[in-house]
């Protein structure tokens, strides 16, 4: 089993246990916490030993960054040239991060390209705001939720 999958299961167990008192939770999850810490212990080494290559997050202009909306790195740099400073503005400039993946594929690259293109520090550029729903949902699922809420109100 991969370390990431095991960690995800441990974190899920952690969340499930949040429904009990904090002291009980801490006592129950102490072994899980220790295993999680052990799983994560290698992360600094992996990050140091295998950093992404220089162009991974800021590729050349012809590389498509936002696959959902077919926006290239060059398009994002052109947006910066027209005054687009923050990642959230790229939505208005070119629908970046508005596709079905909701920016899962493009968000990190956009937040790396814009500071470089605007010659500003990353802290000034900021990141996309995370808003629910965190996973794409169908209209049918939303409609079913409304039906459920209506029946709850009637009770």
* Cα(11)–Cα(42) distance, integer angstroms: 17
From the CB of 96, what's the least distance to ligand FES, in Å? 6
Among 87, 94, 99, 115, the residue binding ligand FES under the rule CB under 6 A is 99
Q: How far apart, in whole angstroms, are the C-alpha atoms of residue 128 and residue 87?
A: 6
Q: For residues 76 and 113, is the Cβ–Cβ distance under 8 A?
A: yes
Does 73 participate in binding ligand FES (rule CB under 6 A)?
no
Q: In this chain, which of 46, 67, 122, 144 binds ligand FES, going by CB under 6 A?
A: 67
CB of 65 to ligand FES, least distance (A): 7
Least CB distance from residue 83 to ligand FES, whole Å? Answer: 21
Beta carbons of 97 and 135 less than 8 angstroms apart: no
Q: How far apart are CA 41 and CA 30, in angstroms?
A: 16
The rounded distance, in Å, linking the Cα atoms of 84 and 98 is 16
Q: How far is the CB of 64 from ligand FES (least distance, A)?
A: 9
User: Where do we find the tokens 């899980």?
Assistant: 32
One of 97, 109, 112, 114 touching ligand FES (CB under 6 A): 97
The site for ligand FES (CB under 6 A) is made up of: 66-69, 96-97, 99, 101-103, 105-106
């Amino acid at each position: 089993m991969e370390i990431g999958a095991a960690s995800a299961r441990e974190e899920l167990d952690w969340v499930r246990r949040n429904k009990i008192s904090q002291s009980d939770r801490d006592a129950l999850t102490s072994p899980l916490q220790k295993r999680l810490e052990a799983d994560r212990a290698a992360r600094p080494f992996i990050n140091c030993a295998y950093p992404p290559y220089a162009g991974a997050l800021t590729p050349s202009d012809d590389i498509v960054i936002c696959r959902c909306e077919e926006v290239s790195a060059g398009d994002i740099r052109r947006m910066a040239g027209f005054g687009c400073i923050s990642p959230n503005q790229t939505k208005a400039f070119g629908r970046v991060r508005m596709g079905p993946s909701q920016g899962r594929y493009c968000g990190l690259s956009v937040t790396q390209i814009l500071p470089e293109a605007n010659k500003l520090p990353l802290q000034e550029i900021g990141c996309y705001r995370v808003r629910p729903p965190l996973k794409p949902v169908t209209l049918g699922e939303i409609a079913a939720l409304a039906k459920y809420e209506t029946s709850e109100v009637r009770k």
